[in-house]
Chains A and B, each alone.
Chain A
Amino acid sequence: MSIDQGDMPPLAPGATALYERFVALMRAGDIEGARELAPGVVIQTEGWPYAGKTGPLNPAAFQGDASAHKLMYWRDEGGGTYRLRSGAAWYTVVSKGDEYRISEGGLKPVE
């Protein structure tokens, strides 16, 4: 997966890398690895009544078309906090020293 930055100001490289690693782990079904990058964020692994809808993150939602998880938007909230959005999900990413972590996230279509 690559992020097309077009002519927009870049997202912090650490946040970009974190997001790409997280999506790759979810697609690979490595839930423990994904949870290390998103401590405290609910990642549901059993049952999935939310196909195409709003609800907790679930690896099943990452198994289809990868374009649904391409980064579409971000907003710099200041203080090392970013709100990210793909077509299928939203995230809050915060800086933790030299690293970034996902502090919130969930499935929600862009509309």
Chain B
Amino acid sequence: MMETKIADSRKEGGMAPRRAERVAHDREGGKSRDMASLTEIPPETYTGAALGSLLGPLGTVAGGVAGYLLAKKVSVNVTRLNGVGNSLGTDIATANRVFSQAGITIQTAKTETLSAADSSAILGADNKLDDFTSPALTTEEQSLVAHNRTAGRITAYYVPEFIHAGTRGEAMIPSYHGVTESSIVISSADRVNDTFAHEMGHVLLNDASHDNDASNLMASGDIRNFTDKLTKGQIKKAQGSKYVH
């Protein structure tokens, strides 16, 4: 079995997704991020600290704490299937950079990694997620999204790849799928740096459609240029999401 990827000339100077991701990673200073990076200080803490610093050293600390406590937050459960790569730290960092435009911080909550047996029970022998082709979830997706649920919280799932070759990620949301709680699924093999943020955008906006502006976070992956802007309307809608507290 051979998988082949074609460079898209409109994406990162014509590079294939994985190549584009490596460049984006290099642009961030080439730092390797892993689960430990989830403890990184979110941007609103810096803002609060900067304001607090006007009152002296204690003000800096108090401002930082106040900034963190007052920020709008989204908590995400995370389930990684057996054998997937660990891009969670990078994905959360990118999402936080993007959603700082809306004053929203994404943070992980309950995380788990499924055993080989549990993963195989979901994906079957092909080790690929049978992804939806209509609003109805597939049997494999229904099995997947039953894991790691908390009422009122999004769960993100990392799978090895999708059965439809090259699919980077997908979101299951009430407005399109009729589900009660939202989920996102990321292909470990095919994701790019802002796939997690893009899928979170579908959830926070509760909207399955795509933006025609290549600089917008919600542009489709075939045109999106990693600028990842949010419009004022998108910011307002995201801030009003039931998942933002």
Interface string of A51-66 (1 = CB under 8 A from B): 1111110000000010
Interface size classification for chain A: 35 or more
Answer yes or no: A84 CB below 8 A from chain B CBs.
Answer: yes
Give the distance to chain A from B205, nearest Cβ to Cβ, in Å: 13
**Complex alpha-carbon distance, A86 and B6, angstroms:** 10
Given A67-B10, A67-B222, A68-B222, are A111 and B167 also a contact pair (CB < 8 Å)? yes
Binds B, one of A20-28, A29-37, A75-83: A75-83
Interface size on B, residues (CB 8 A): 37
A72 at the interface (CB under 8 A from B): yes
In the complex, per-residue mask of B7-30: 1 if CB is within 8 Å of any chain A CB, else 0: 111100010100000000000000
User: Which residues from A are CB-within-8-Å of B169?
Assistant: 111
**Docked-complex contact B6 and A71, CB < 8 angstroms:** yes
**Cα distance, A72 to B10, chains bound together (Å):** 11
A97 to B198, CA, bound (A): 42
Q: Are A87 and B222 in contact (CB under 8 A)?
A: yes
The answer to whether A52 and B210 have CB atoms under 8 Å apart is yes
Are the C-beta atoms of B164 and A6 separated by less than 8 Å?
A: no
How many contacts A-B (CB < 8 Å)? 120
Whether B220 pairs with A85 at a CB distance below 8 angstroms is: no
B-chain residues with CB within 8 Å of residue A6 when the two chains form the complex: 6-7, 16
Q: Which residues of A contact B209 (CB under 8 A)?
A: 51-53
Contact A111 B195, beta carbon cutoff 8 Å: yes
Complex: A54 Cα to B172 Cα, angstroms: 11
Q: Are B222 and A8 in contact (CB under 8 A)?
A: no
CA distance A77 to B5 in the complex (A): 14
Q: Are A76 and B220 in contact (CB under 8 A)?
A: no
Chain B positions near chain A (C-beta within 8 angstroms): 1-10, 14, 16, 131-135, 163-170, 176, 190, 195, 198-199, 208-210, 220-223
Closest A-B pairs by Cβ, 4 of them = A87-B222, A73-B166, A75-B165, A111-B168
* Additional pairs, 17, CB under 8 Å, beyond known A65-B223, A70-B8: A4-B7, A6-B6, A11-B4, A52-B208, A54-B135, A67-B10, A72-B5, A73-B166, A75-B2, A76-B1, A83-B165, A87-B222, A108-B133, A109-B221, A111-B167, A111-B169, A111-B220
